[in-house]
Amino acid sequence: MKKRLITLLLVLLLSGIQTLAVFAQEEGELTLSMSRDFGYSSGTGDIQGTFSMKASGPDALVRVEFFIDDTLIAEDREAPYKVQFVTDNYPLGLHTLYAVGYTSDDRVLNSREFQANFVSADEGWQAALKIMVPVIGLVLLAALLSAIVPALGGGRKNRSSLPPGERNYGIAGGTICTRCQHPFAMNLMSPNMVVGKLVRCPACGKWFIGRRAQADVLRKAEDVEWAHEHPAPQVSGVSEQEKLQKDMEDSKYQGL
């Protein structure tokens, strides 16, 4: 269970992020880059997991060979020229990676060599956790602040006491509670969960991922809430609106 949790956290941290090591070559030569598909990269040469090497060169390039420590690991005859490898399939330690390209006019192009230190999975996890722990701590702190700050500010009382159209939702904007439909301002410090912010409704206490609502949507929610909390007074079972309509009808016959 612990390993699954660590794996999930690492995926959330690393997914969608690629570490690209590109070594510039002179025009017409072979350029080699390396990207992380899944795993750990320190940014200083330590790597663990699944990576790809990709080569590019002149239009006449027709074949590329990829090497690790002078051992041919793959050959690609179609662009894009690339190969995927797993560091666990090689001995731990320092390795040299490079590529050799061949052109249709019989030229041989050598990429610049670069070195990477293949580390164990345990070292990769430990290094990743050192990065993840502060990040998780910041997320939890932001979530705590998003709950405490509205409470210190009076929460819902300060917001819903204002009539529709007079409420200020601040820089982060406003959202609407998915449970009680209460419109409220999102905290700027609330954690960003990609599709929205992790927020807590000051009215009912529900936690949810809130998206910034448009002004007209917030205004409609304000109108509904205001009407619910400030119902029109009844006069002998007749509402003010009905009474006004009756007065308008009676005025048609005055002066006759």
Does the pLDDT at position 247 exceed 80? no
130 part of a folded domain: no
Rounded CA separation 62/104 (Å):
6
pLDDT in tens, 200-214: 999 898 999 999 999
pLDDT given at position 112: 93
Q: How many CB atoms lie within 10 A of CB 48?
A: 26
Clarify whether residues 79 and 13 are in a common domain.
Answer: yes
pLDDT in tens, 175-224: 999 999 999 999 888 888 878 899 999 989 899 999 999 999 999 999 99
For the chain, the C-alpha Rg in angstroms (whole number) is: 32
End-to-end CA distance of the chain: 87
Clarify whether residues 167 and 105 are in a common domain.
Answer: no
pLDDT in tens, 123-160: 756 666 666 666 666 666 766 665 555 544 444 444 45
Question: Within 13 Å of residue 19, how many CA atoms lie on the same side as its CB?
Answer: 18
pLDDT in tens, 48-73: 999 999 999 999 999 999 999 999 99
* CATH number of domain containing 107: 2.60.40.10
Count of the separate structural domains present in the chain: 2
**Alpha-helical segments (H) within the chain:** 2-14, 121-152, 156-160, 215-229, 240-251
With cut-offs at 50, 70 and 90, classify the pLDDT of residue 122. Answer: confident
125 part of a folded domain: no
By C-alpha distance, which of 93, 111, 124 is closest to 53?
A: 111
**Domain, as residue range, for 74:** 2-119
> Mean pLDDT highest for which of 96-110, 116-130, 147-161?
96-110
pLDDT given at position 250: 63
pLDDT given at position 156: 44
By C-alpha distance, which of 197, 194, 178, 195 is closest to 186?
A: 197
133 part of a folded domain: no
Does the pLDDT at position 83 exceed 80? yes
54 part of a folded domain: yes
With H, G, I as helix, E, B as strand and everything else as coil, classify residue 34: strand
Query: Residue 143 has which token pair?
Result: 């979530």
Distance of CA 80 to the CA centre of its chain: 29
Contact yes or no for 77/56 (Cβ under 8 A): no
Which residues are paired to 220 by β-bridges?
Answer: none
With H, G, I as helix, E, B as strand and everything else as coil, classify residue 163: coil
